[in-house]
Amino acid sequence: MTRLCLVRHGQTDWNLEGRYQGQSDVPLNENGRAQAHAIARELQDQPFTAIYTSDLQRAAETAEIIASAVNLPVTPDPRLREINQGEWEGQLVEIIKARYIELWQQRSVDPASIRAPGGETVTEVARRIHEALNDIVHVHPKGLVLIVSHGLALATIICEVRGVPIGQAYTVIPDNAKPLWVDFATR
């Protein structure tokens, strides 16, 4: 069994504005960098065996800041990216709800399998994340591994390890730059 420390990237301006980021490569803001430094201090004495991160800059920068505190290299993995929100990326939630009324209502009923136009479903994200974790756990079967990723991507892991239906992933999105510890075995 591998012990994972899941960390959502630090804050971005789009987080503050209520914009869907998805796979848009949005940088950390100053507060996000401060959050990353704070969690680096919190985790500096952990005996991590590896650090993996999404290749999007908000997660990668968070991971690099933590890595400097624990003296480990960072391995980027694009499979750890956030959900692809397609046409919704960069838009405010209120605008999405108003412009895509029917689709938003469908997503409220079936959040696991409804996709934004041109995007991914939560189920597809969960599959991609699970594949990445299985590979990581295979390499570090008894290790302590830091995973820096994104809200919904990490929520799919939380659902899996807690036995929560994947359709409830939006309800378990972790806060920015807060560690969450889980045990994960290949399945």
Please answer whether residues 174 and 13 qualify as being in contact, where contact means their C-beta atoms are separated by less than 8 angstroms. Answer: no
Q: How far apart are CA 184 and CA 137, in angstroms?
A: 8
Question: Looking at beta carbons, which pairs linking 12-19 to residues 24 or more positions away fall under 8 Å?
Answer: 12/58, 14/90, 15/176, 17/92, 18/92, 18/93, 18/94, 19/90, 19/91, 19/92, 19/93
Amino acid at 136: I
Strand locations in the chain (E): 2-8, 50-53, 74-76, 144-149, 179-184
Can you tell me the distance from the alpha carbon of 178 to that of 174, in angstroms, rounded to the nearest whole number?
Answer: 7
Look up 82 and say whether it is catalytic.
yes
- Select which of 9, 61, 150, 160 is catalytic: 9
In this structure, are residues 14 and 26 in contact, taking their beta carbons and an 8 Å threshold? Answer: yes
9 is catalytic: yes
Instruction: Give the active site residue among 61, 82, 120, 160.
Output: 82
Known catalytic residues are 9, 82
